[in-house]
Amino acid sequence: MRQDREFRELRPISFETDINLYAEGSCLVKFGNTHVICTASIDEKIPRWLKNSGKGWVTAEYGMLPRSTDIRNDREATKGKQSGRTQEIQRLIGRSLRAIVNLENIGERQIKVDCDVIQADGGTRTASISGGYVALYQAIEKLKKSYNINKPIIKESVAAVSAGIINSQPYLDLNYEEDAKAQVDANFVICESNKIVEIQISGEEYSFTKEQFEQIFTLSQVGISQIIKKQKEILKI
């Protein structure tokens, strides 16, 4: 089915940092034709339920610009509420990033990661998590310097990638066309240590075997190790 890459290959992936003048951390991440701007902002206010707990918080917001797809879609703000998809994705991003942060060591403050999709061609949530980590890392480094924090805050790197089964063949890092044809569609969020943060997987009029799951899981592990290598290169860690 693919003409430009093997079933086990990622799309061209890149991270460009310091793209925003004001945010403590910022990154333009590209997974092929999916492009997402990620910023991380330090906020001295924390959720009320965390007051006097000694812990901080990491949260995320996600959105797609009106012309990020082949047809224009109105901003959700004009509709007065976020879609269920948007809420689900931003919760996933937040969970993924909190999994690798020592919240006790950032003090009673929060870091807000904003992921704005400027062009979508499949895998916007996985690109957002991977780019969101880069922006978050930058913000935390600035936080440590500003407040002379010597305790470790980032536990390890984290990234995400999609995979699926099309015509009984496993594929890594699906674009939109592939995702639409997939019999099985999955998103994997995995740390550098190979610990799993989250797996989202479902069949579309199709059930899959344990062996098929293991095939796409193995593909995702290889892909995520390559993404993390690129993250570490741009962050110089």
Average pLDDT, the chain: 96
Largest CA distance in the chain: 56
Within a domain: 7: no
Within a domain: 5: no
> Looking at residue 66, which CATH number applies to its domain?
3.30.230.70
Model pTM score? 0.97
Q: For helices 210-235 and 124-146, what crossing angle results, to 10°?
A: 40
Q: For helices 124-146 and 84-98, what crossing angle results, to 10°?
A: 50
pLDDT for res 27: 98
Q: Which amino acid is at 214?
A: E
Q: Which amino acid is at 30?
A: K
> Tens of pLDDT along 33-76?
999 999 999 999 988 998 989 899 999 999 999 999 999 999 98
Give me the domain span that covers residue 135.
Answer: 13-235
Q: What are phi and psi of 118, to 5 degrees?
A: -100, -20
Question: Confidence class of residue 169 from pLDDT cuts 50, 70 and 90?
Answer: very high
Within a domain: 174: yes
pLDDT for res 79: 87
DSSP class of 49: G
Within a domain: 1: no
> Tens of pLDDT along 87-139?
999 999 999 999 999 999 999 999 999 999 999 999 999 999 999 999 999 99
pLDDT for res 1: 65
d(CA 23, CA 9): 33
Within a domain: 4: no
Neighbours of 149 (CB within 10 A): 14
Within a domain: 3: no
Concatenating the DSSP letter of every residue in 212-224 gives HHHHHHHHHHHHH
Total domain count, the chain: 1
Structure tokens at 163: 């995979």
pLDDT for res 24: 98
Within a domain: 2: no
